[in-house]
Amino acid sequence: MIEVKVLGVGCANCKATQKLIEKVASDNAISINLKKIEDTAEIMSYGIMSTPGVIVDGKIAHAGGIPDKVTVLSWFKSQCCPTDNDCC
């Protein structure tokens, strides 16, 4: 299961990013464990200065603005099949 954290204090972009991640995972039958982190100190501990931030399996995948669907799917594909991006 891919661990995903959305970092942000609850703004519209953070909420939209969370919903987009959920939809991409669902549409592609990818199993994720999604957590929303809203604590400012915890967000800062990741080195994220611009929200929304996204952490995928412990690594910063995104910071600032809403990512597009293709970008989100690429995070999951690189985690679930690092040598064959057509397996997810």
Q: Is residue 32 part of a domain?
A: yes
14 is catalytic: yes
- Tally the residues of the chain: 88
β-partners of residue 37 are 7
Q: Classify residue 9: in a domain, yes or no.
A: yes
Enter the tokens of residue 68.
């597009």
| Active-site residue (options: 11, 80, 81, 87) | 11
Tell me if 55 is assigned to some domain.
yes
Annotation says 87 is catalytic = no
**Structural domains of the chain, count:** 1
Question: What is the extent of the structural domain holding 31?
Answer: 2-80
pTM: 0.87
* CATH classification at residue 60: 3.40.30.10
The answer to whether 6 touches 15, Cβ cutoff 8 Å, is no
In-domain check, residue 33: yes
- Going residue by residue through the chain, which has 88 residues, state the pLDDT in tens, using 9 for 90 and above: 999 999 999 899 999 999 999 999 999 999 999 999 999 999 999 999 899 999 999 999 999 999 999 999 999 987 665 555 455 5
Active-site residue (options: 14, 80, 87, 88): 14
By CB atoms closer than 10 A (0-12, 13-18, 19+), residue 25 is buried
Contact by Cβ (8 Å): 50, 64: yes
